[in-house]
Amino acid sequence: MLVTLKEILKEASNKEYAIPGFNVFGYEDAAMVIEAAQELNTPVVLMTNRDAIAHMPIKILGDILTGLAKEAKVPVVVHLDHGKSVEEVVSAIKAGFSSVMYDGSQLPLEENIRRTRKAAEISHYFGVSIEGEIGSVGYSDPNIEAKAIYTVPGEAKRFVEETGIDAVAVAIGTLHRMKAQKANIQYDRLREIEELVDTPLVIHGSTGVKDEDLTRLSRHRVGKVNIGTALRMAFGDTLRDEINSRPEEFDRIKFFKKPMIEVKNVAKEKIMTLGWGRKQVLEV
């Protein structure tokens, strides 16, 4: 079933588990993420980043993802990740997305507040949830120009109060596109933010977070944890092996079968690590 982020986030942020947000690029990985969520009976967020939208028109991508979400047996959010303009946010809303992110994290604080508030007003008018970012989660890729800025707890409090957003991404030591689990999480900073901010928190760049830290984060007031690189590596590495081992094959659908299974396996592992295995045990 297609739901908004707000519908599923509040409870998760107050419990010992977090909602997984997976960056997907189309049917192959999105369908496997939903299968993983259904097998574990958990809600999930399908997210599209700017690379995905550059590859496929957002209306077509939105039709695919919302179609899968509506048929799913678990709650599924279709979310725009890192929208850089109000126009991108509006495009996602028109395409049927149930949640959006406006990312003004590279802007001065006042400008970030002003633009995020405008995006929030539009989103809420159409019944769509919205996430913002204060501080800035950087990138491990040096070719991407994005300054990493740790979140200042007092600024986070002001940001959520003045924008009216439904979730807030904070920078506490992660980086986007990390392949190895080497992130150094600043738990003291996280606790300071939690003391001041009641809005559910979001952690970006979580492929680079150790499994024990993912589990620990899920016990904080973290509502959503974003994971993308782990799925891309699972799909891409397996696809490479398939192509190299079958030089006479040319049917891409046949090449996709094993990579899709690996995406599903990784998605299930991450979902369990975020506390859903613990939740299921407690409910038995």
Report the distance separating Cα 145 and Cα 134, nearest Å.
Answer: 17
Assigned token pair, 47:
């997210």
| Tokens 């590596």 -> residue | 233
Catalytic: 251? no
Closest CA to 33 of 49, 18, 25, 44: 44
Burial, 149: exposed, middle or buried (Cβ in 10 Å; 0-12, 13-18, 19+)? middle
The CB-side HSE value for 69 (13 A sphere, CA atoms) comes to 25
Report the distance separating Cα 46 and Cα 22, nearest Å.
Answer: 5
CB-CB contact of 195 with 162 (8 Å): no
List the catalytic residue out of 81, 103, 166, 213.
81
Catalytic site residues?
81
